[in-house]
Amino acid sequence: MKQPSTTNWGAVIIALAAGIFAAAHYGKAPTALPEIRSQIPISLIVGGWVMSVFSLTGMVFGIAAGTFADRLGAKQVAMLGLGTLSLGSLIGGLADSGEILLLSRVIEGFGFISVAVSAPILIMRAASLNDLQLSLGIWTTYMPVGMALSMVFTPIMVAAMGWRAFWILSSATTLLWLSLLWLKTDSGKQSGKVAAPPEHGLLENIMLTIRSPGTWLLSIGFGFYTIQWISLMAWLPSFMVEQRGLSLEATGLLTALVVAANIPGNLTVGWLFRWGLTRSTTLIISGAGLGITALGIFNDGFSDLSRFLLCLAFSFFGGMTPGSVLSGAPVVAPTRGQIGTVNGMMVQGSHMGQLLGPPALAALATYTGSWQETRWLMLASAFGIIVTSLLFQRLGTNKPAKI
């Protein structure tokens, strides 16, 4: 991919914001679910799927969505994703049953994965070579930024206008952003800027990608990270309310702060790459930081303040993993025509961890009768990041991040 001589930061911000919109759709349901259940009679099981179906969609369709981004064009797939998010949110706002609400979340899930795999290609197309890794590092903040904003503003908006009006408002604002993305980003059809020429078919793109050992290692490492991070984010509010007696308002704010601590971790990776650190080194630092902080978080002998500060540190070190993994797509992609497919496989690994992590943590806490014993799941996953990083180092693709 031929990089421009100067970075189009406006296009970078538009693509980043598309990801933030997608992540906000992801994060709006858990906070609003009690209000939704007061108006629509849905079981706890259906409510659980309303929150987790995004992960299932991403796990199943990630690599396929990435292949379509490579084949059909990143801008087209990003626009399709935002449009699908808008449609799903509108259907959800009008839903009168749990089944329709769940269908709306499935539709939103398709939109989310489409944006997640295509927006980074738009960012790569807009960034100069010198700013490429920094731009991709900035992109990796889309998930914690979107989730943190959703955690803070969803309760406020739901209280002010009701969840249905908020769902419809989310639909409208996403549609407006689709229009801005259409008008202000490069379609990639200019000479020298085509990110993914159709030199391979859909199936061939997938086969080339799954034969790439670097892609497998980064995707598996990403999954080990999300097992830990999403588990802590999912169960921290329950722990604060049930074990420490905090109010829902205080719990929401504290959890949002922990989510937001992920953002500087994402950004730190770009600067470390500029200083010459390799991808496996930043991943090892991330894995070690996650494991060490988890030991304190799940230690009943530590004070609540100490454990909360360790949660912030845990999220910071964790942020270095998506920063390292997602910026590696152009490095491990077999050719420039598989960058979207590689992104899709990495997102697929991430969603595998998101789907498995919270129930695994809950099962371990239930079986042992103690939250403290769940540290072993965290330590095992942190060790998994370190092992996959060392294996990645041996591939020879572990070089300072320049393409």
pLDDT for the residue numbered 339: 85
Q: DSSP code of 200?
A: S
pLDDT for the residue numbered 188: 55
The model's pLDDT over 364-398, given as tens digits with 9 standing for 90+, comes to 878 888 778 888 999 999 999 999 999 998 886 65
Q: How far is CA 188 from the centre of its chain?
A: 25
pLDDT for the residue numbered 243: 73
| Alpha carbons 17 and 181: distance in angstroms, whole number | 10
Confidence class of residue 192 from pLDDT cuts 50, 70 and 90?
A: very low
| Alpha carbons 158 and 138: distance in angstroms, whole number | 30
pLDDT for the residue numbered 60: 84
pLDDT for the residue numbered 371: 75
Cβ 382 vs Cβ 291: under 8 Å: yes
Cα torsion through 315, 320, 323, 328, rounded to 10: -140
Do you know the residue count of the chain? 403
pLDDT for the residue numbered 190: 46
| Alpha carbons 155 and 37: distance in angstroms, whole number | 15
**Angle at the Cα of 317 from the Cα atoms of 348 and 8, rounded to 5 degrees:** 65
Q: DSSP code of 40?
A: S
Run of H or E including 165: helix 163-184
Average pLDDT over residues 142-161: 87
Q: Give every CB contact of residue 377 below 8 A, 6+ residues apart in sequence.
A: 227, 228, 231, 360, 361, 364
Lowest-confidence segment of 35-39, 46-50, 178-182, 381-385 by average pLDDT: 46-50
Lowest-confidence segment of 32-41, 119-128, 394-403 by average pLDDT: 394-403
pLDDT for the residue numbered 94: 94
**Angle at the Cα of 54 from the Cα atoms of 267 and 92, rounded to 5 degrees:** 115
Q: DSSP code of 195?
A: S
The model's pLDDT over 324-376, given as tens digits with 9 standing for 90+, comes to 998 888 888 888 778 888 988 998 999 898 888 877 887 887 888 877 888 89
The model's pLDDT over 94-136, given as tens digits with 9 standing for 90+, comes to 998 888 999 999 999 999 999 999 999 899 888 888 888 788 8
The model's pLDDT over 72-95, given as tens digits with 9 standing for 90+, comes to 888 999 999 999 999 999 999 999
User: The tokens of 89 are what?
Assistant: 């949110």
Percent of the chain's residues with pLDDT above 90:
40
Whether the full predicted model's pTM is greater than 0.85, yes or no, is: no
Percent of the chain's residues with pLDDT above 70:
92
Confidence class of residue 1 from pLDDT cuts 50, 70 and 90?
A: low
pLDDT for the residue numbered 219: 94
| Alpha carbons 198 and 73: distance in angstroms, whole number | 9
**Angle at the Cα of 76 from the Cα atoms of 75 and 78, rounded to 5 degrees:** 65
| Alpha carbons 182 and 162: distance in angstroms, whole number | 31
Cβ 318 vs Cβ 286: under 8 Å: yes
| Alpha carbons 27 and 253: distance in angstroms, whole number | 14
Please tell me which residue, 180 or 189, carries the higher pLDDT value. Answer: 180
Kindly provide the residue ranges of all beta strands, DSSP E only, lying in 80-142, ordered along the sequence: none
Q: Which of 319, 345, 401 is nearest to 138 (CA)?
A: 319
**Angle at the Cα of 258 from the Cα atoms of 226 and 369, rounded to 5 degrees:** 65
Task: Spell out the long-range contacts of 176-180 with Cβ–Cβ below 8 A and sequence spacing 24 or more.
Answer: 177/14, 177/17, 177/18, 177/21, 177/82, 178/79, 178/82, 178/83, 178/86, 180/14
Cβ 218 vs Cβ 384: under 8 Å: no
pLDDT for the residue numbered 397: 61
Average pLDDT over residues 178-198: 63
For residue 232, pLDDT beyond 80: yes
pLDDT for the residue numbered 283: 96
pLDDT for the residue numbered 248: 64
Lowest-confidence segment of 71-75, 193-197, 231-235 by average pLDDT: 193-197
| Alpha carbons 293 and 273: distance in angstroms, whole number | 24
The model's pLDDT over 264-319, given as tens digits with 9 standing for 90+, comes to 999 898 888 888 899 999 999 999 999 999 999 888 888 889 999 999 999 999 99
Query: 97's torsion region: left (phi>0), alpha (psi -120 to 50) or beta?
Result: beta
Residue 101 amino acid letter: L
**φ and ψ of 277, to 5 deg:** -70, 150
Confidence class of residue 191 from pLDDT cuts 50, 70 and 90?
A: very low
pLDDT for the residue numbered 200: 63
